[in-house]
Structure 1
Amino acid sequence: MKQSEAIKRLAEFDQRGRYVFSTQDMSKVFLEDTARGREATLKRLVKAGILERPSKGVYLYALSKNKGLDTLELIAKTLRRGEYSYISLESALSEYGVISQIPVGRLTVMTTGRKGEYKTPYGVIEFTHTKRRVSDILSTIKDRGRPLKVAAKFAALRDLKRVGRNTHLIDEEAVHDD
């Protein structure tokens, strides 16, 4: 695919607010005849700075007008597509003011998928596996209009204790504030 045509296709997706893609998504963005042709196009676009590859299997339209605070969450969502994932542990507890430290450049995510840590140019994503039932997860997360839902305060605390994380930063007074 020609570079100008690729930019045009990516800009169309960007206008609809979509600028983070999985490798599989790229087969729908670039209608190449072969996987080899698509891989060559992706490689050329990354080299030209039109696409970024923040993590294996994830591409980001570098010229996007939508890049911002949600980019790291979108990358996380793309990495664990098809699994239930939500912000929890230190990231959620920091938002609630329950712990004093603010995890800068780090996102802690609970997922029904596999655990792992991904270092991206936008920050580090730490996935922690949960065996909780989907119905239990859905009853304890909140939709805040962001790409990933966020655990309720007590669910994030429970997750922190369940996975054996350090609890000495917890402000007990903030736990009981609403």
Structure 2
Amino acid sequence: MSRIDETKEFIPVRIAVLTVSDSRSLDQDRSGQVLEDRLKAAGHILADRKIIQDERDQIADQLRAWVADPQVDAVISTGGTGLTGRDVTVEAHRDVYEKEIEAFGTVFTIISMEKIGTSAVQSRATGGVAGGTYLFALPGSPGACKDAWDGILSMQLDYRHLPCNFVEIMPRLEEHKRRK
């Protein structure tokens, strides 16, 4: 079972939050606010926060901009992961990924099943890595953001989490680009 090693020092992660919505403004963005509140409460740094429309190219361009920014270690997007015609966040993420973290969506589905039953099949939460930056796409509901943060991200973005976590391998994400 997982646990926190209190002998290790906490390492804050610089996280950008992206809300994908055609209709929300910052003051109406409950899901983005949930993520901001949780990451700050955990001791992480909010690197940036934006809202953009459900446009695949715009989403991918914003993800690429944050991947290129050395002040961003991880990006969490919320919204646009469903099945409707305007839901293109997953496709935009996959346009950017160098590697997909397939188990992220699976674990999210397991957590969601406990809360919303078979309706969890309608979510396409995903995770991946590009340019040494972690990218996660979550559904647009505050509940889904809470579930993903509390059930996965709070632990995987904590360097002290055992037996392993995303933070400890961050320095190695780009090792394939080093000269041999």
Structure 2 length normalisation: TM-score?
A: 0.24
Which of the two has higher C-alpha Rg?
1
Q: With CA pairs under 8 Å and 6+ residues apart, which has the higher RCO, 1 or 2?
A: 2
